[in-house]
Amino acid sequence: MAATSGATAAATAATPATSNARDYDLPWVEKYRPHKLSDVVGNQDAVSRLQVIARDGNMPNLIFSGPPGIGKTTCILALAHELLGQSNIKEAVLELNASDDRGIDVVRNKIKMFAQKKVTLPPGRHKVIILDEADSMTSGAQQALRRTMEIYSNTTRFALACNISSKIIEPIQSRCAIVRFSRLSEQEILNRLLRVVEAEKVPYVPEGLEAVVFTADGDMRQALNNLQATFSGFQFVNQENVFKVCDQPHPLLISNIIRHTLGGKLDEAYVHLKQLYDLGYSASDIVTTLFRVVKNYEMPEYLKLEYIREVGFAHMRVSDGVGTLLQLTGLLAKMCSVSDKAKAA
């Protein structure tokens, strides 16, 4: 999923594909990456806070926290563009990713040298250091960073992007304003995909785009990557092609499993489960897709909550390494049992 640096919220207002070879070869996650905060999709509360910062120019140290692919890095870069202007970006912004060496030496040397560098900026503006995937920094590097943030606070601001803010040490958290991002809604992703398919002249059917949205699970970068991969591989976006490219268990097969467990038919449910397992899908793939289908399946709410509870326990065991067919069959038995109890009540 992380084919590009940081999280890509989505596209700018889609423009028709150009004949420029460089643009043609660009991944769509980069080609349609927003350059202005107003173009970012979703997380309107977080984006509106950043727009106020961009307007007033008073940027504090920031921590952007949330799942991958929802716009954290995109928002940081857009904020830097709006604060500093295109002409100052090269000189006044340092971006480091998890793929770079980010031990204590990098903080002591590279980051410190950039913080010391003199750059002429408009009044009230500061240099910006962007640390992507900051939760993967070593503890020693974070401790060194804490002191650097204090010493150079007059000239430099730090923007840290991470998936889990609790992995950032508390002294750094207390020096930053935390901006929390959540997964994008299906409608937000679908609206942006419609713009992209129109700009790229992608032939599609509505069910195909629904499948792309399903496989993305709130991740705009994943959605754009899956859309491009399907178009590149098959030249047509329909449900069958999307699931071939993404190689996830088909929701219809998962729906059949749920339907049989609701009827208490364990043997029939097992047949469909074994079919998926024999296709080579891991227990984690099956349980994750099962959870997403159960969430949207039409059934009584109390029963849905019980199903989600059992799927959650199964996911915990699978995550611990017990991803066997027996474990998945046990989950089906639990689901049948829950359904039978509900009928008897």
Provide the residue count of the chain. Answer: 345
Instruction: Write the class of the CATH domain 43-180.
Output: alpha beta
Closest CA to 119 of 168, 84, 143: 84
Q: Do 43-180 and 251-344 show the same overall fold?
A: no
Structure tokens at 65: 């926290």
Structure tokens at 305: 């909550």
Q: Does residue 119 carry a pLDDT above 90?
A: no
- What's the average model confidence in pLDDT over 63-92? 90
What are the distances in angstroms from CA 244 to CA 197, 211, 240, 247, 321?
19, 11, 6, 5, 26
247 Ramachandran zone, left/alpha/beta (phi>0; psi -120 to 50): left
For 247, list phi and psi in degrees, rounded to 5.
50, 50
Helices (H), the chain: 21-25, 28-31, 44-56, 72-84, 89-92, 104-106, 112-116, 139-151, 170-174, 186-200, 206-216, 220-234, 239-246, 251-262, 266-278, 283-296, 301-319, 325-344
Alpha-carbon span 212 to 260, nearest angstrom: 26
Is residue 84 within 8 Å of residue 128, measured between CB atoms?
yes
Closest CA to 160 of 102, 242, 237: 102
What are the distances in angstroms from CA 314 to CA 32, 252, 291, 329?
38, 21, 10, 10
Q: Does residue 137 carry a pLDDT above 90?
A: no
Q: What is the pLDDT of residue 111?
A: 85
- Domain range list for the chain: 43-180, 186-246, 251-344
What are the distances in angstroms from CA 52 to CA 55, 129, 174, 326, 340?
5, 20, 21, 54, 54
Going by pLDDT thresholds of 50, 70 and 90, the confidence category of residue 57 is confident
Going by pLDDT thresholds of 50, 70 and 90, the confidence category of residue 12 is very low
What does DSSP assign to residue 237? B
Q: What is the pLDDT of residue 5?
A: 39
Going by pLDDT thresholds of 50, 70 and 90, the confidence category of residue 296 is confident
Is residue 246 within 8 Å of residue 256, measured between CB atoms?
no
CATH topology of domain 251-344: Zinc Finger, Delta Prime; domain 3 (1.20.272)
Q: Does residue 324 carry a pLDDT above 80?
A: yes
Closest CA to 242 of 273, 278, 216: 216
- What's the average model confidence in pLDDT over 319-324? 88
Q: What is the pLDDT of residue 293?
A: 92
Q: What is the pLDDT of residue 316?
A: 93
Alpha-carbon span 269 to 262, nearest angstrom: 10
Alpha-carbon span 147 to 124, nearest angstrom: 22
Alpha-carbon span 156 to 117, nearest angstrom: 10
Beta-ladder partners of 158: 129
Alpha-carbon span 191 to 224, nearest angstrom: 12
Architecture of the structural domain at 186-246: Orthogonal Bundle (1.10)
- What's the average model confidence in pLDDT over 165-169? 90
Mean pLDDT of the chain: 86
Strands (E), 132-251: 156-162, 177-180
Is residue 104 within 8 Å of residue 40, measured between CB atoms?
no
pLDDT in tens, 219-259: 999 999 999 999 998 999 999 899 888 888 888 889 999 99
- Looking at the chain, the number of H-run helices and the number of E-run strands are 18, 5
User: 205-209, 331-335, 340-344 — which is least confidently predicted?
Assistant: 340-344
pLDDT in tens, 182-229: 999 999 999 999 999 999 999 999 999 999 999 998 899 999 999 999
Going by pLDDT thresholds of 50, 70 and 90, the confidence category of residue 22 is very low
Distance of CA 140 to the CA centre of its chain: 27
Enter the pTM of the model. 0.79
- What's the average model confidence in pLDDT over 297-312? 93
156 Ramachandran zone, left/alpha/beta (phi>0; psi -120 to 50): beta
Is residue 51 within 8 Å of residue 37, measured between CB atoms?
yes
- What's the average model confidence in pLDDT over 271-276? 92
